[in-house]
Structure formats: structure tokens, C-alpha cells
Amino acid sequence: MGHALLEVTGLTTVFDGPGGPVTAVDGVNLSVDRGGVLAVVGESGCGKTVLSLSMLGLVAPPGRVTAGRVVLSGTDILALPESGRRAIRGRRATMIFQEPMTALNPVLTIGEQVAEPLRVHAGASRREALDAAEAMLARVGLPEPRRRMLGYPHELSGGQRQRVMIAMALMLSPELLIADEPTTALDVTVQGQILELMLDLAREAGTAILLVTHNLGVVAQTADAVVVMYSGRVVENAPVAAFFAGPAHPYSQGLLASLPQVGDLGRRLTPIPGTVPSLSALPTGCHFHPRCPRAFEPCSRQTPPLFDLPGGRQARCWLHAS
């Protein structure tokens, strides 16, 4: 901890549409420390998944990265040709996708898919890779790993498929693991098991994690720092303890206020008014100002910068201008 493994600077991604380009990720800056866990949070549609795909050069047309740098241990991933990016993906940086059923190949056996990183990136023989895959599936707690090696994704439960995804992602002990909503489709008990497994294996390998989630409970349990996104922009960046002690941006405050608390039985939750704006019709100035209870005159006219605050925090809000 304390030394940045990943530095993202000015990352911008647009999608071409019938009405012209739409910005889905707007000048994002963030960093992930070696061995650390950074959570990226926000409502659905705020740009979290597009950000994670952009970082690894995985955005497909009509999307494209138009600006920014993604530097992993001194290597700018986006400056590499596609062959160079492929050499990094799977070996130095890996990703666990939100829905394993669509990420796993339905016509390849589990064993072949988990063994693939070793064969492609480490030059292992088929036998060596399959033996290592079986050992890794045992480590992630997949029952009867030898038998499961011969099966296919549709024969596994959701939790078992996510264990397979974790095994594939950590086969080569990557420097960085991007986990995009890794427990969304799972029940609460299995969610806890999967998160604990992912974190334990990553710690053993010294792997840093960028955790994309909308679940603030998960953030409180797992992360060292948190980045809050709204309509493609970072609106807050803070150490996790400081964030939960008192978020600095009104949007972050609204997210926390909408969560049920222990002992609040019978209390009405406080939702954030309004809805997330369409990326093709974003408000001027601060994108959050139409929903913000503390908006004042500059908010609708000028886009606030990320103001530096005490304790290594940042907030994109005119309330912190003075």
C-alpha cells in the first residue's frame, strides 16, 4: 500500500449515436495502490462498467476511447497496439465480469477455459495447464473439481460459475484484478462467500483490486478507498473510513442516506429525488444539480473541478470552492 500500481488520467470514452457522440466516461482520474482495493460506486448508468472496459482497451464500436492514459506499472495500456494489450490482459491485468454466463464460452469445457491463460501467456503444455486448472478450481472451492473440469458452464450454479471466473482471473497472479459487480446475481449468503474468496486469493498473490459496485455495504467491508461516479464523472474520491464518516459531495450524501440502517425498522428511506439523466441530454454545469437539495447559482452554469480537501479527499462540488 502507498505506491500506485495503476494511474488513470483524463480517461474519456464516447459512443457514436444518431444524434452525435455521447460521452460515457468524462475525464476520469483515479489510482490504485499496490495490494490495495479501490471501489468505484454509483447508480446504474453512471459509467462504472464502461470505465472498467475502457481501462483494458475492451470498448468496442460504436464506443471509443478519445483521451487519457491508463498506466500499469509504468506501461500505458492504451498506447500499446492491440497485440500489446492482449499480452497484458489475462497476465498482468484481468477482469471478472458481471454475468459469468455470458463471459464464459458455452461450448468449451470448464477445464479448457481455466487452463487457457497458462497456455496463452505462460506457454504451458496442455497437460500442465489442465493440472494447474484443477488445482486452482480446488482452491476456489468448486466441489469435485476433476469432474467439473469436463463439464460446461450451463451445468453450474451462479455461485459456481463465479468461482470459475475467479479461478481464471487469478491463474497467473496478475498485478491488477478488475471486478465488475462480481456478486450482483447471487443471493446474499453466496455473495459473502465469493467476496471473501476473491479478496483472500488476491491478497495471497499481492494483486490489487478495482471493485466496481453499487453496493455500499460491500465497499465498507472490503475497500481501502472509494471513487464515486455520476453521469460519467468522478464526483468524490476519498479513503473509505473518511467517506463513511461524512461524505463530501451531496450525491454521496444521498447514496448513504438512502441505505437502511440497523435499528431503523419502520423508518422511511430517503431516496435521491429524480432520475439519472440521459447521457445524450446532460444538464449544464454540475450534472447532479437538478437533483441536488443544496444546489445554488453557479451549479447550473459552471462545471465544478475536483476540489482537494483535507485528509486526501476530493469532491466535485461548488460548496467546497472557498
| pLDDT tens by residue, 229-286 | 999 999 999 999 999 999 999 999 999 988 876 666 666 778 899 999 999 999 999 9
How many whole angstroms separate alpha carbon 200 and alpha carbon 203? 5
Percent residues over pLDDT 90 in the chain: 82
CATH number of 4-92+174-239: 3.40.50.300
How many whole angstroms separate alpha carbon 259 and alpha carbon 214? 12
Report the pLDDT value the prediction gives residue 102, as an integer from 0 to 100.
86
Q: Which residues pair with 95 in a beta bridge?
A: 178
Report the pLDDT value the prediction gives residue 1, as an integer from 0 to 100.
44
Q: Is the pLDDT of residue 83 over 60?
A: yes
* Mean pLDDT rounded to a whole number for the chain: 93
At residue 41, the 3 state secondary structure works out as strand
Report the pLDDT value the prediction gives residue 260, as an integer from 0 to 100.
73
CB atoms closer than 10 angstroms to residue 265: 7
Question: What is the tens place of the pLDDT at every residue in 98-119?
Answer: 888 888 999 999 999 999 999 9
pLDDT band at 177 (very low <50, low <70, confident <90, very high): very high
Report the pLDDT value the prediction gives residue 3, as an integer from 0 to 100.
78
Q: Any idea where the domains of the chain sit in the sequence?
A: 4-92+174-239
Question: Would you say how long the chain is, in residues?
Answer: 322
